């Protein structure tokens, strides 16, 4: 008898959650199961403060296709889209940083000119 899609997904999530738990435990981490498909790992941040990392395992079905079913999820495409979004954000940040640097330089130039004018005016008034 074949299994339903939901039963197959549940089995896969359980297997992957168990595999992750074993890998992390072999690394010496304390692993806590905080949900059916969720693990929590106590750890310390860069300043030795207590922190937690959680990992939730899911099996995405994809997007609804409008006919009562799902379009298949494609992790390779999702990774490519994510990489493109990261690259686009980095480019936007680069442009914004360049504009900010130009504005700072212009502001410094204006301040220097204003200071020079103020100094010249003060020298003129002394004379």
**Nearest-angstrom CA–CA distance, 9 and 36:** 13
- pLDDT tens by residue, 35-55: 989 999 999 999 999 999 999
Output the pTM of the full model. 0.64
User: Residue 58, exposed/middle/buried by CB under 10 A (0-12, 13-18, 19+)?
Assistant: exposed
Q: Bigger pLDDT: 123 or 71?
A: 123
Q: What is the sign, positive or negative, of the torsion defined by CA atoms of 5, 11, 12, 13?
A: positive
Residue 43's nearest CA partner among 58, 16, 24 is: 24
As a whole number of angstroms, the distance between CA 22 and CA 113 comes to 66
Instruction: Give residue limits of the domains in the chain.
Output: 5-95
Question: What rounded mean pLDDT belongs to the chain?
Answer: 90
Q: E strands, 47-123, where?
A: 50-56
* pLDDT for 69 beyond 70: no
């Amino acid at each position: 008898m074949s299994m339903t899609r939901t039963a197959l997904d549940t089995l896969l999530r359980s297997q992957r959650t168990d595999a992750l738990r074993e890998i992390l435990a072999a690394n010496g981490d304390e692993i806590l199961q905080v949900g059916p498909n969720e693990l929590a790992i106590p750890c310390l941040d860069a300043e030795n403060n207590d922190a937690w990392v959680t990992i939730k395992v899911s099996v995405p079905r994809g997007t609804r296709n409008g006919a009562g079913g799902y379009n298949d999820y494609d992790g390779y495409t999702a990774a490519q889209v994510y990489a493109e979004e990261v690259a686009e954000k980095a480019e936007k940040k680069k442009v914004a940083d360049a504009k900010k640097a130009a504005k700072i330089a212009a502001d410094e130039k204006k301040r220097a000119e204003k200071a020079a004018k103020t100094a010249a005016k003060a020298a003129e008034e002394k004379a």
